[in-house]
Structure 1
Amino acid sequence: MGIFLFLLKLCSDLISRRVGTLFYFAQRQGSARDRDGAWRELETSLKRLQTNYLDLWQFHALTHDWDLDTILSKGGAIRAAIEAKKQGLIRSVGITGHHNPEIIVKGLSRYAFDTALVPINAADTLEQLEKNIRVAQQFKPLLSDELAMIEQLY
């Protein structure tokens, strides 16, 4: 067993003792961005986390237009997310990116994702940081009524 699987098992054991007090999330980072591949990854995440649902499932590390095109296509990973949401396996679906924050903006214009993560990383170049900050500044904060509605979901 590799170190990653060992740590995942250790975390799963610790998590299973605290059910009901945790926010469960998983990021899909595999190369499969199709519906069936995403579904298999979701099942694996649920099994490894020893839970029957995720609060948030994220499509991680979007970089190129083809990432979005593939995920949002007729047979894309978004289909797995829509099905999983209907079945109560996930509550929210989001997108993340590292090196091309504009792809997050494009993604949000093409699909009503519940969350978006734009990283601000001190290890990035100054140019990359400035680009990420410009994109993050385009997001408006939630109103208190909106926050209250979200809190009631959990």
Structure 2
Amino acid sequence: MLEIDITQIIRNMKAFRLLVTSLLVALSMGFTSCGDDNISNDSTNDNTINEYYTMLYGSWYREVNNELSKTFMSYKFSTNKQVIRYTKTAERTKGFINGNIGYSDWEVVNEYSTYGLWYLEKVEGTDLIRLKIQWDGNDFYSGKLINYLDGNILSFDDGFSNDLNKGDKSPNF
């Protein structure tokens, strides 16, 4: 009778091991399938980043004009991750000339180019894309969220409320 009990115990241990092994296999398959979901999300994230890179390459410009000032700004994003920002600003004054309101000639008060390096990154846990630029002379990359980007319009917070238009244009002043 003692032998029967030991045999029964051994059978129960084998059944228990089989059950544990089956559970471990099922759990590992579940983790693997979760891992596959993450891979597809990473692939989607990579596709989004690649689409943004493709749309961002090239020249963008904006003009901000009012009665007394004009500002022209352009960005050129190259495929080798270099960026050039060109800015030109002109001003004029308003006053009375011979009893009539008149304006002075436009005077360029600021014209310069800034060079840097750029890349895009996905903001973790969101669908947002950040444009990171390291301007020449800086040791760090500043990040700006891209509010909107398509083949014609680029909107990101660079201190101006106006969007940038796709194209290679020069200032008219």
Q: TM-score range by the shorter chain?
A: under 0.3
Structure with higher Rg: it is 2
TM-score by length of 2: 0.20
Per chain length, whose mean CA-contact separation is higher, i.e. which structure has more relative contact order (CA < 8 Å, sep 6+)? 1
More strand by percentage = 2
TM-score by length of 1: 0.22
